[in-house]
Every structure is written in C-alpha cells, then in structure tokens.
Structure 1
C-alpha cells in the first residue's frame, strides 16, 4: 500500500462525509438564520425557541434524505471493502 492509495481512500471518505452531511447542515443553517432574524425582530431571546425548530428540521431532513444518505454510505463502505484485496496484495 503506497501513500497515494491512502490519500485517495482518505479523500474519498471525506468527500462522502461532506456529501452525506450537507443536506442536514444546510437545512439547520437556514432554519437557524430564520429563527435568529425572528428573534432579532421580536426581541424574544428564548433558548428553546432556537433549539426546537433546528431539531425538528434535522429530523425532517433525516426522514426525507435518510434513505439516500444510507445508500451513499453503504456504497462507499462496499467500495472500500471490495478494494482491500487489491490494496493489500
């Protein structure tokens, strides 16, 4: 196993991680921005007001994008496990 193969596997892993996490992060970021604007406009600074909508949005995103995320991770794991014989031998 040469350093180039290690870097390729690591790069692919990080790219898969970013691809899978992006939908949840973007939705929670957008909801957080909307809630922050609402709090600034109404001057209501309640901690649960910012936490609960983000949590609900994250669960909704998991419900919608969860199957795609799971299949992407399974495909990556299968690819890595199938490449073990060529990397070791």
Structure 2
C-alpha cells in the first residue's frame, strides 16, 4: 500500500466526517443566529433562551440525518473491508 492510497483513504474518511458534522451542526448554528438576532433586537439577555431551540433542532437533525449518516459510515466500512485484499497485496 502506497502512501498515496493511505492519503486517499484518510481524505475520504475525513470528508465523510465533515459532511456528517455539517449536516448535524449547521441547522443548530442557523437557529442560534436567529435567536441571537431576536435577543439583540428585543434586548432580552437570557442565556437559556438560545439553548433550548438549538438543542431541539440538533436532536431533530440527528433524527433526520442519523440513518443517512450511519449508512455513509457503513458503506465506507464495507468498502474498506472489501478492498482489504487489494490494500494488503
């Protein structure tokens, strides 16, 4: 196995992690921005006001994107296991 092949596997794994994290975190960031804008406009300085909507949206994102994320990781794992003879030899 050449260093280029190891780099390709590592790059693909990092890409999968990045895509899954973005799918789970971006909705929470958008809701946090909306709530923060609302707080700034109304001058409400309550720390817990932004926590609950972000928590709910993050949990909904995990429920929505969870099966897709697991299937991506399983496909990558299957690909690694199927290519073990080619990787070693």
Per the TM superposition, whether the score is higher than 0.5 is: yes
Using the size of structure 2 for normalisation, the TM-score is 0.92
Query: 1:74 matched to which residue of 2?
Result: 74
Deviates more, 1:75-84 or 1:34-43: 75-84
Which residues in structure 2 correspond to 1:57-68 (within 5 Å)?
Answer: 57-68=57-68
Give the RMSD, CA atoms, in angstroms: 1.1
Structure 1 Cα separation of the partners of residues 12 and 36 of structure 2: 35
Distance 1:23 1:15 in 2: 12
Aligned counterpart, 1:37: 37
Corresponding residue number in structure 1 for 2:7: 7
| 2:81 is the counterpart of 1:84 | no
Unaligned runs of 5+ in 2: none
Could you tell me which runs of 5 or more consecutive residues in structure 1 were left unpaired when the two chains were aligned: none
Give the CA deviation at 1:48.
Answer: 1.1
Number of residue pairs matched?
Answer: 89
Runs of 4+ in 1 over 6 A off after TM superposition: none
1:4-31 deviation per Cα after TM superposition (whole angstroms, max 9, x unaligned):
0110000100111112122212101110
